[in-house]
């Protein structure tokens, strides 16, 4: 892996390079942390509203359908048995929360691992700044083409703006996101990850060790 990543301007022309610090890179461990974070994120997106009723919750069925003996039919105590039409459900789904907890250290390791993998793949692009003159989709398309990000890219900025949101919302393969909101799932979902300089600084600060105060 190279020790630097080129920086380009919004029009694709070179604008220097960013030195990769050793504390930003982790390629030997963290695969399980990435999996845990992705599973937790997807689980947290589940609504958990599926619901059905047991035979005790279905309205009716309080009267015994027929007497216990002498009819030649099987015994029945309720017309709301799970075996009957309009009956209850055995072990029905009930509303629940699927959220999973992941420790802070695990989240940091997962971010570092996914960032390192995308760097090793050559999928990370760094731009000096991203300021559109108007909230136009064609301007966002021109920017992505100039920096060779294609039409499947995650754009990470320090702070999102209304212009960026409006310019990218009609592009199904493009997502503009604050650095504070990026997680391993989003880092792995797109073919290219485009960072602004400010967005990169805010992103790596999430998993870089804090400097000790003198």
pLDDT tens digits in sequence order for the chain, 214 residues long: 678 899 999 999 998 899 999 999 999 999 999 999 999 999 999 999 999 999 999 999 999 999 999 999 999 999 999 999 999 999 999 999 999 999 999 999 999 999 999 999 999 999 999 988 899 999 999 999 999 999 999 999 999 999 999 999 999 999 999 999 999 999 999 999 999 999 999 999 999 876 544 3
Is residue 12, in this structure, part of any structural domain at all?
Answer: yes
Q: Which helix (H) or strand (E) holds 125?
A: strand 124-127
- Judge if 146 and 183 occupy the same domain: yes
Write phi, then psi, for 172 (nearest 5 degrees).
-65, -25
- Judge if 29 and 128 occupy the same domain: yes
- Judge if 15 and 117 occupy the same domain: yes
The domain boundary, picked from 92, 120, 149, lies at 92
- Judge if 178 and 79 occupy the same domain: no
Residue in 2, 1, 8 with CA at minimum distance from that of residue 126: 8
The domain boundary, picked from 37, 63, 92, lies at 92
CA dist., res. 6 & res. 203, Å (int): 17
CA dist., res. 176 & res. 164, Å (int): 7
- Judge if 81 and 169 occupy the same domain: no
Q: Which domain holds residue 129?
A: 4-47+101-204
pTM over 0.95: no
Is residue 14, in this structure, part of any structural domain at all?
Answer: yes
Q: Indicate the angle between helix axes 104-121 and 197-204, nearest 10 degrees.
A: 140
């Amino acid at each position: 892996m190279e020790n630097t990543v080129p920086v380009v301007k919004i029009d694709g022309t070179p604008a220097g390079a960013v030195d990769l610090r050793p504390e930003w890179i982790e390629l030997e461990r963290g695969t399980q942390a990435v999996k845990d974070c992705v599973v937790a994120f997807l689980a947290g997106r589940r609504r958990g509203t599926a619901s059905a009723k047991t035979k005790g919750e279905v309205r009716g069925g309080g009267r015994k359908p027929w007497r216990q003996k002498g009819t030649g039919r099987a015994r029945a105590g309720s017309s709301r048995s799970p075996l009957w039409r309009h009956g209850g459900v055995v072990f029905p789904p009930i509303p629940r929360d699927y959220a999973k907890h992941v420790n802070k250290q695990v989240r940091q390791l997962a971010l570092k691992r996914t960032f390192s993998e995308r760097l090793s793949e050559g999928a990370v692009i760094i731009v000096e700044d991203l300021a559109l003159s108007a909230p136009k989709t064609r301007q966002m398309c021109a920017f992505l083409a100039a920096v060779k990000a294609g039409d499947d890219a995650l754009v990470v900025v320090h702070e999102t703006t209304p212009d960026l949101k409006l310019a990218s919302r009609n592009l199904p393969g493009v997502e503009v996101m604050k650095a504070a909101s990026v997680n391993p799932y989003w880092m792995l979902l797109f073919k290219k990850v485009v960072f602004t300089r400010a967005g990169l600084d805010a992103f790596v600060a999430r998993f870089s060790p804090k400097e000790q105060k003198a």
